[in-house]
């Protein structure tokens, strides 16, 4: 589930409207959104992965250019072609940014029987080079979640395919694993996510505390939320979101209705193109 709020140089920008042509900047003082008429995110509107670093959005593995990879600077409007993605083009990989590197893990093949692909790729922003890290650290998976917490990477949830009596079905996960994508030291299993096993979970950081939930079980949306204390390796249930997502279950547009981010001591949730704007406050770990 993509976020339509982009963290650029520590500021948060919401891309909305037809082909992302409307841009709003979050005003941390007034806790409101200011229109930025000089910016557009239209060049990154189409499908594929989207990750931010510094002032740029890195995107690629789209249907129109499956191996393509590029950066887009919304402040200057400049798109720069980068080294092609050397892996297998997939849908719904697990992606994250750690340091000055971007990572693409596993995903669903776009050809054949939509098999899950066992891959683990690292892109170095500073050198414009891809590196094959081998197999996925958590096995073949799609629509999982990964977050950097206290300078460590945590990854899990999502689904894989299993076969029961010759029929393929989805197996969902609630695992939570600490990995080191740089040195590839052994993984460390952590306390599992306490909610229902699910795919497409979403969350936000408040300080060094991750708040994670939402997502789907089969095609039913979930609105529960849990905070993760990394020092105690403990999950705690917090308030569920009191609103709902409208739209056809499983549709791209319905999935994209929720964007989340954290600033200071609060988390924020945007539904649609500012149809609803929610604040979550939770003190302590």
The tens digit of pLDDT for each residue in 143-192 reads 999 999 999 999 999 999 999 998 999 999 999 999 999 988 899 999 99
Q: What pLDDT band is residue 284 in, cutting at 50, 70 and 90? A: very low
Q: What pLDDT band is residue 19 in, cutting at 50, 70 and 90? A: confident
122 falls within a domain: no
241 falls within a domain: yes
Q: State residue 44's pLDDT score.
A: 84
Q: Mean pLDDT over residues 47-74, rounded? A: 95
Q: How many domains does the chain have?
A: 1
pLDDT, one tens digit per residue, over 203-218 is: 999 999 999 999 999 8
Q: State residue 285's pLDDT score.
A: 42
257 falls within a domain: yes
Query: If we measure between CA atoms, which residue out of 149, 260, 177 comes closest to residue 215?
Result: 260
255 falls within a domain: yes
pTM for the structure as a whole: 0.93
- Could you list the residue range(s) of the whole structural domain that residue 267 is in? 206-285
277 falls within a domain: yes
Q: What pLDDT band is residue 283 in, cutting at 50, 70 and 90? A: low
167 falls within a domain: no
- Mean pLDDT lowest among 12-16, 116-120, 132-136, 246-250: 246-250
Q: State residue 65's pLDDT score.
A: 92
Q: What pLDDT band is residue 275 in, cutting at 50, 70 and 90? A: confident
pLDDT, one tens digit per residue, over 251-269 is: 444 445 789 999 999 999 9
């Amino acid at each position: 589930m993509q976020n339509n709020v982009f963290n650029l140089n520590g500021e948060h920008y919401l891309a909305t409207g037809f082909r992302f042509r409307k841009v709003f900047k979050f005003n941390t003082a007034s806790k409101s959104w200011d229109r930025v008429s000089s910016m557009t995110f239209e060049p990154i509107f189409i499908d594929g992965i989207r990750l931010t670093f510094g002032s740029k959005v890195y995107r690629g593995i789209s249907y129109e250019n499956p191996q393509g990879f590029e950066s887009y600077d919304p402040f200057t409007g400049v798109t720069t072609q980068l080294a092609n993605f050397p892996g297998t083009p997939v849908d719904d990989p697990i992606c994250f940014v750690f340091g000055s590197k971007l990572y693409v893990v596993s995903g669903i093949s776009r050809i054949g029987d939509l098999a899950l692909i066992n891959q683990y790729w690292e892109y170095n922003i500073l050198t414009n080079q891809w590196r094959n890290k081998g197999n996925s650290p958590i096995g073949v998976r799609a629509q999982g979640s990964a977050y950097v917490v206290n300078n460590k990477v945590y990854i899990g949830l999502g689904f894989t395919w299993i076969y029961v009596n010759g029929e393929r079905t989805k197996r969902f996960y609630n695992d939570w694993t600490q990995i080191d994508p740089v040195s590839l030291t052994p993984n460390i299993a952590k306390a599992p996510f306490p909610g229902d096993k699910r795919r497409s979970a979403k969350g936000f950081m408040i300080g060094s505390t991750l708040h994670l939930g939402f997502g789907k079980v089969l095609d039913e949306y979930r609105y529960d939320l849990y905070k993760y204390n990394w020092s105690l390796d403990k999950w705690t249930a917090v308030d569920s979101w009191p609103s709902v997502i409208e739209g056809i279950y499983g549709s791209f547009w319905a999935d994209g209705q929720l964007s989340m981010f954290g600033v200071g001591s609060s988390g924020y949730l945007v539904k649609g193109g500012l149809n609803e704007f929610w604040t979550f406050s939770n003190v302590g770990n």
